[in-house]
Amino acid sequence: MRMAGLYFHIPFCRQACNYCDFHFSTVLKDKSRVLNAMLLELEQRKNYLNAAELSSMYFGGGTPSVLDEEELMQLIQRSLLYFKLRQDAEVTLEINPDDVTGEVLKMWKRAGINRLSMGLQSFDDEELKWMKRKHRRDDSLRAIQVAGEAGFTNISIDLIYGSKFQDLGTWSETLDQAIALDTKHISAYNLTIEDKTELGVKHTRGQEPGVDEQLSVAQFQMMRKKLLEAGFVHYEVSNFAKPGFEAKHNSAYWKQQSYLGIGPSAHSFDLNSRQWNFANNPRYCKAIENGELHYEAEVLSTNERFNEYVLTGLRTLKGCDVNVIGNAFGDSYKLHFETLAAKKKRFFNTENGIYSLNEAGLLQADAIASDLFLL
């Protein structure tokens, strides 16, 4: 039986973080209309996954923890009318530490959430204030504790490195604190300054410094060393997990499995084409309500599918398998990959036809992948 993922983009936040360029709104008055449109979209696209079973369901955003119990249950129950959820499926909810209470944790349990992805980002209160995050260090520590007490055994935390607040010493302390929390999964992202964000605008005006790339490299190397020593598996460039706790949903993206995205700006993939919903709440709702096309799409060429396999594969521990390339795309693609990869062999570990990046390669995974593309 084929497996697939279902993603819900909840496009609302109570306030905007200074670095975030995801699609969201801080105006919640249209929340009911958007959620009703998402329920309609589920019905309209119920055949998209072609009867594949769901191995994962993921609520991202935005801030999905703005949903109350009725809203969350409606989305889940409507999904189960159209899709079969595997018994061992991973059901993830992205949350902020300041949303966590004993009562809301019970509600998430009742709804069927079995994995929490918590946006901690930092343990430095000044840095959190600068990021425009509502929570503080103590909120993060309390949230992890009470979530564990409520029976959540699969908790992931997000961290950001590379800001002006961090040096190697403070980043080392952050990693030690993260390890001490004993969560099963850590996602850590190098700060990126995006043009249209508050941080991006201030950087353009000279009011904020850029990211120190040399420091970021050293922080990445420190993170990798510390987390590997703590028993984590570095299974994707930005993701570390205790064995058996790799994120099923995100892994499906990297393995080129199909998924359906519901909500404004959500993306979908049916193995042959990609679709992306309108990243505008009123436009999305109006199209859904009128039964009109609410997304843009592109059919992937063989070269594009090969490029995506290379890009996603090289970001992961599993790497790229030349036998898979040959079977899926043909011998000419296999030869192309092997020939160009040989020119960059200093960045690769190779075994039985599987090419995975070493630490030096992981530091420039996307650039190396792009050098192997077929245009």
Domains, the chain: 3-254 (3.20.20.70), 302-371 (1.10.10)
Residues 6+ apart with CB under 8 A from 338: 322
Is the pLDDT at 74 greater than 80? The verdict is yes
pLDDT tens per residue, range 133-157: 999 999 999 999 999 999 999 999 9
Whole-number Å distance between alpha carbons of 319 and 283: 39
* pLDDT the model gives residue 112: 96
User: Between the CA of residue 353 and those of 322, 335, 341, what are the distances in Å?
Assistant: 6, 12, 11
pLDDT tens per residue, range 265-278: 999 999 999 999 99
Cis bond upstream, residue 62 (ω within 30): yes
* pLDDT the model gives residue 171: 98
Is the pLDDT at 1 greater than 80? The verdict is no
pLDDT tens per residue, range 78-110: 999 999 999 999 999 999 999 999 999 999 999
Confidence band for 76, pLDDT divided at 50, 70 and 90: very high
Q: Map residue 193 onto helix, strand or coil.
A: coil
Mean pLDDT of 320-338: 97
Closest CA to 55 of 92, 12, 9: 92
Q: 32, 213 in Cβ contact below 8 A?
A: no
Mean pLDDT of 176-190: 97
Whole-number Å distance between alpha carbons of 329 and 310: 12
Q: Map residue 50 onto helix, strand or coil.
A: coil
Q: Output the pTM of the full model.
A: 0.96
- Across the chain, what does the average pLDDT equal? 96
Residue ranges in the chain assigned as alpha helix (H): 31-44, 69-82, 102-111, 125-131, 137-149, 168-180, 198-204, 213-229, 248-254, 281-289, 302-314, 322-329, 331-342, 359-362, 365-371
Chain-centroid distance, C-alpha 108: 20
Residues of the chain with pLDDT > 90: what percent?
A: 97
Is the pLDDT at 252 greater than 70? The verdict is yes
* pLDDT the model gives residue 2: 81
Closest CA to 117 of 209, 44, 187: 187
- CB atoms near residue 20 (< 10 Å): 16
Is the pLDDT at 212 greater than 80? The verdict is yes
Per-position b or e across 288-298, b if 16+ CB within 10 A of its CB: beeeeebbeee
